[in-house]
Amino acid sequence: MTAKIEKVSIIVSKGSLEGIYPGLIMANGARAEGIEANLFFTFFGLDAIHKVRHEHIKLATVGNPGLHLATWAGGLPGVSSVMTHYLGRKMDQLDIPPIPEFIEMIADTGAGLYGCKASADLFGLTKSDLIDQVKDIITVGEFYDLAAGGQIIFT
């Protein structure tokens, strides 16, 4: 049998729906395999663990060629909301939880959730702005200490 991955540290750097889910799915999947996992939220990725904003994460409908939608159409008022709602319904059918519920579940699996200090300072956020499951706001150096001995995945 080939070598097994035993630990992953996943960085979530984007605040769009399609930017956040992959990191969450990888973290949750790692824990399901018995792999140690930590999540580090940086830049707009902080929205995923923001008490208020994580309820309103939207799909990017502009500058997203994968959507096969004309850029001008993606920019019309309400299009992002409608597409987000549509995708949310499809995800619900597949039992993929909404972001707040998913993050709570991932915390329950024992994965560590951390905010990035530089980004929190930049956006004027403190630990009280973030959901209770967040263990700490840490520096990049502390992140590397935490990630030692494992794989780092940037999303």
Partner 1 sequence: MPTMTCAGREITVNDEGFFTDPSQWTEDMAPQIASAEGIAELTDRHWQVIKFMRHEYEAKGTGPTVRALGKTSGVSVKELYQLFPKGPAKVAAKIAGIPKPRGCI
Query: For the chain, how are helix, strand and coil distributed in percent, rounded to 5?
Result: 50, 15, 35
Residue-by-residue DSSP string for 72-86: HHHTSTTHHHHHHHH
Q: Using CB under 8 A, which of 62, 69, 79, 105 touches partner 1?
A: 105
Closest Cα to residue 49, out of 91, 84, 11, 78?
11
DSSP bridge pairs for 65: none
Whose Cβ is closer to partner 1: residue 4's or residue 68's? 4
Q: Using CB under 8 A, which of 55, 108, 121, 136 touches partner 1?
A: 108
Q: Per CB under 8 A, does 87 bind partner 1?
A: no
Whose Cβ is closer to partner 1: residue 25's or residue 79's? 25
- Which stretch, 50-58, 78-86, 105-113, 124-132, contacts partner 1 (CB under 8 A)? 105-113
Closest Cα to residue 51, out of 118, 105, 109, 99?
99
- Which stretch, 21-29, 75-83, 113-121, 147-155, contacts partner 1 (CB under 8 A)? 21-29
Name the site residues for partner 1 (rule: CB under 8 A): 1, 25, 28-29, 31-34, 94-97, 105, 108-110
